Structure 1
Amino acid sequence: MRTPLISLSVLTLLVPIVAGCNSSGVDALKISKSAAIDKTTTASVRPIVPPGTLNETAKEGGRDEARGLGYANTARPVEMAVLRANKPALQGRSDAPTIYKARFSDAKPIDFGQLSPAGFAVHGVDVSRWQGKIDWTALRQRGANFAFIKATDGGDHLDPNFHRNWTAAREAGVARGAYHFFYWCRTASSQADWFIRNVPKEKGALPPVIDVEWNHTSKTCRKYPSPEMVRKKMQVFMDRLEAHYGQRPIIYTAPDFYDDNLKGAFPNHPFWLRAVAEHPSKVYPGRDFLFWQYSGTGLAADHPTQIDLNVFNGSAAGWHKWLQANRL
């Protein structure tokens, strides 16, 4: 998620939206059409590799076709993956979280036509330090049914507001997960260690997110690894997180990075796609998605900064089923 100087974006419902995700200077989660987690195939498709199992150089630089780096012709729809989790649905149960209708506006509204985010049942946001102090109870009631919170960047940066946001969002009843902005000038294993060190393994948390994009404004890292190296480094990082948290990581990305590196890749990982001017089906043809980031200029009453806005790609019932199957 790229981070605008002033703020990140949040999900808008009532007003058509533009948007973007950013991260610590490059601060945000991107939208991408992706396959949802299918826990019935996880073990057979790509076994989890415990930390330290493979040599770092071999994992990031060697041939690795057998570890899920191939290309997919199709992707499973989100709700089918949810149903295959073989767990009872929360629909109708008293512990199913309330879904609040989105009541966001947008500083730069976009007309998405018939494929508008307004047609989705479950909206949410992603945030970082650029949003300042957040009233999470008020934000949830305005439609933030889920939130992805910036945690770490590279191998030594911790978002200064992460722990406050992490705790306050949970106390407000917001389903929340943490995201890591990937830095292409450090090893994947050191970044995984840093994320694990700072993000609690906590009951109720959503799967972790790896935010992968080109950081054109970085003053310290201008590397553009080959597509093969990009995917190998991502695989190392995601394997480490999956082994630790027991959840398959979500991939957040933006159109340019996706076109360069991820077309058809990681068919068994869920994607969160940034698409702030058109529906993901037009920006990422052929790629299913779990979350769509549709605006980087969202507005919520009583909150002073812009917020990234997102939607879950499924119905209200599908959201409850996905939560039950994928939360820690």
Structure 2
Amino acid sequence: MDAVQARPYVSGVDVSGAQGSVDWAALVRRGDDFAYVEATQGTTQQNPHFRQQYNGASDARLIRGSYHVALPDTSTAAAQVRFFFNHGGHWSGDGQTLPPMVRLTRNPDGPNCYGRSNSAMVQWISNFSDSVRQKAGRYPVIATAAQWRKECTGNSTGFTEKNPLFIIRHNTTPGGAAGRVAAPHVLAVQRQWHAGQRQQVQR
């Protein structure tokens, strides 16, 4: 029997309502290991296919988790966490569930930083993180782009002791994104953050 060769990354996908029905068996065959499924945005938008997608990933024996798209200009962080957890956000220590994740990226409908100063954004993210911790018993993963983090939080290191950090990189290779982020605990680098496309996360 050939020796198992360790990989420097694990592969998976993120999906949202735009993908509808997902062929999970095909993803497993190509070697994907995990899936993050969008559950909610803000306090009003739900992924109408969430349950189907989340259960499909589980049935295919992928490690899976749910994520929330933050809209910090629409409500408090606590309100968004409540909405997230009422519509798919959760965590359990079953060995198959990834930590809840929050995605923080450029505002699609206004100022990049949602009209917040660096300190106000850092406080909003901290409130979100603490609210998830109260509900799930652990802190969420934070997924963001290096440029957005620099512009909107001033490269704050306030979360790096508690929150795994995924750096969103729109490219075909992980590259050196982790090394360019001023944080002591960048735990993962994620590439090609496009709904339904493959992700590779460096170990």
Matched, 1:157 2:45: yes
CA contact (8 A) 1:289 1:313 kept: no
Distance 2:97 2:11 in 1: 17
CA contact (8 A) 2:106 2:112 kept: no
Aligned equivalent of 1:206, options 74, 81, 98: 98
Q: Which amino acid aligns with 1:205?
A: T
Matched, 1:187 2:102: no
Q: Which amino acid aligns with 1:266?
A: F
Aligned equivalent of 1:266, options 131, 155, 159: 159
Secondary structure of the residue aligned to 2:21 is: coil
- 1:201 to partner: Cα distance: 4.6
Matched, 1:312 2:178: no
Could you tell me which residue of structure 2 aligns to residue 140 of structure 1? 28
Aligned equivalent of 2:64, options 176, 187, 191: 176
Superposition map of 1:1-328 within 5 A: 120-185=8-73, 186-199=75-88, 200-202=90-92, 203=94, 204-215=96-107, 217-218=108-109, 223-260=114-151, 261=153, 263=155, 264-268=157-161, 269-277=163-171, 278-286=175-183, 288-296=185-193, 307-314=196-203
CA contact (8 A) 2:146 2:168 kept: yes
- Bigger radius of gyration among the two: 1
Structure 1 residues not aligned, in runs of 5+ = 1-98, 102-118, 298-305, 315-328
Distance 1:120 1:311 in 2: 9
- Closer/same/farther in 2, CA of residues 164 and 223 from structure 1, 3 Å limit: same
CA contact (8 A) 1:293 1:309 kept: no
TM-score scaled to structure 2, two decimals? Answer: 0.82
Distance 1:291 1:127 in 2: 19
Secondary structure of the residue aligned to 1:194 is: helix
Question: Aligned residue pairs: how many?
Answer: 189
- 1:161 to partner: Cα distance: 1.3
Secondary structure of the residue aligned to 1:168 is: helix
> Over residues 63-112 of structure 1, what are the superposed CA-to-partner deviations in whole Å (9 max), with x where a residue is unaligned?
xxxxxxxxxxxxxxxxxxxxxxxxxxxxxxxxxxxx9x9xxxxxxxxxxx
TM-score scaled to structure 1, two decimals? Answer: 0.52
> Over residues 153-194 of structure 1, what are the superposed CA-to-partner deviations in whole Å (9 max), with x where a residue is unaligned?
001111111111111100100001111111122111110110
- 1:132 to partner: Cα distance: 2.5
Structure 2 residues not aligned, in runs of 5+ = none
Percent of paired sites with the same residue? 25
Counting strand residues as a fraction of each chain, which structure ranks higher? 2
Could you tell me which residue of structure 2 aligns to residue 8 of structure 1? none
Distance 1:184 1:292 in 2: 23
